[in-house]
Chains A and B, each alone.
Chain A
């Protein structure tokens, strides 16, 4: 298992796409953080509330770890390299397990990078704007956001294992997290906390269109549960299929 994880990391490191997405993630977070700094203060907002919103933008790196997970898994089908994978490790579940671990690690690195960039940019920009740049909850917001970004990497792997067509897997991932969850929430606000987006946002305390969220631990468990369910579905539906 360790060997398979190391092989996955080696491939990820050698692939230019990994580096491009890793470089874009903190840029995206900083851009969102800047937007939060520029927004006018809501009337009667608690002091430090703005700092929390700014730091929760560390979670915007999610789309990059999600994509890397999808590409790292469904990409093996696209390039037909899955054949080599299953020749080396005929126990296919292990291959998926190794990818979950590897893209968890890659995701964690991107999460830390993005978290630090968001923190630095937030301190600088809020300081320059003369805003309250800290809150006692800020560390929890940052850590939760980083955990969410990490978990999105594993979500991508699960999705890529279930949906073997790379284009379809990328499309489902993007539509799901950029549109579908938000659309559902706008119709059914109470559903928000149970959706993957709501679960991930609960981790970093990032609000979801006014929908009440689960506690941090509940969001984390629910999101991990989503990953587990998709992996189990992949085992049952697509993983055992013939590689022709």
Chain B
């Protein structure tokens, strides 16, 4: 069974057709780049997979099950959606601790994920003072809390400086090395082209191209070609 399968997915917001008859699968243990211009429907698609947005038609399932019906959602899928989504008055540790308690995970997980994303030193500061890069790492820490096999990341490279990009690349490589499944949307084609197994490219809500990537694929050329 595929880790993620999206079948004839569609979403209409008012008069806007955000996603239209989109189908694709993400196989276990692969890293899939989810590409497309701004406003192409990437975020909406990822949010439909995660049960946050209700599809107008079609289905999105994880291990064959809709997200809303997963037994232990955060231990199955980790998601990074909005880098800024933290309560400004709470510390990074409290944010993670509240998620950990709500998900019923073991106590050591918070310290572990803070270590994983290099935030241990800033863990007790209010997130109000966090830089964009720190927020991205805290979001990744939140996603890793349940030690999920599947990661869904919406533009995790946004706002990262070169050191942050370097860190993210090794993080994603380590994920793949450990056999995790990653679906990541990004605009940083050169970076993702180096590590992705396959690419899904969408334009105006529809599938434009899907296929495996090899070391000879020029992802940027391909992207510009199919989204023109």
Contact = CB atoms under 8 A, between A and B. Distances in A.
Contacts of A6: 101-102
A94 to B, nearest CB: 10
B66 to A, nearest CB: 9
Given A3-B101, A79-B85, A84 B51 contact: no
Interface string A41-66: 00000000000000000000000000
A87 interface: yes
A86 B50 CA distance: 9
A31 interface: no
Interface string A206-244: 000000000000000000000000000000000010111
A10 interface: yes
Interface stretch (B68-76, B177-185, B198-206, B213-221): B68-76
B30 interface: no
Interface string B38-75: 00000110010011111000000000000111100110
Contacts of A242: 13, 47, 52-54
Interface residues of A, number: 28
A9 B54 CA distance: 29
A108 B223 CA distance: 58
Contacts of A88: 73-74, 99, 102-103
Contact of B73 (A15, A75, A80, A87): A87
Interface of A is mostly: helix
Given A3-B103, A88-B99, A81 B87 contact: yes
Nearest to A86: B52
Nearest to B48: A242
B86 interface: yes
Given A83-B81, A83-B85, A7 B90 contact: no
Nearest to B78: A87
B84 to A, nearest CB: 7
Contact of A16 (B79, B81, B89, B97): B89
Contacts of B84: 80
A90 B142 CA distance: 16
Nearest to A90: B68
B108 to A, nearest CB: 17
A19 to B, nearest CB: 11
Interface in A94-130: none
A135 interface: no
Contacts of B85: 79-81, 83-84
Interface residues of B, number: 36
B102 A17 contact: no
A68 interface: no
B103 A83 contact: no
A7 B52 contact: no
B54 A89 contact: no
A81 B44 CA distance: 17
Given A3-B103, A88-B73, A244-B47, A11 B52 contact: no
Contact of B50 (A4, A10, A87, A91): A87
Contact of B99 (A14, A75, A84, A244): A84
B154 to A, nearest CB: 11
Contact of A90 (B70, B88, B89, B97): B70
A4 B53 contact: no
Contacts of A84: 85, 95, 99, 142
B129 interface: no
Given A15-B90, A83-B52, A242-B47, A90 B67 contact: yes
Contacts of A10: 94, 97-98, 101
B91 interface: yes
Contacts of B51: 86, 90
A128 B52 CA distance: 60
Nearest to A91: B68
B97 A75 contact: no
6 contacts: A6-B101, A8-B98, A14-B98, A79-B86, A81-B87, A83-B52
The 6 closest A-B pairs by CB, nearest first: A7-B102, A80-B85, A90-B68, A243-B52, A242-B53, A14-B94
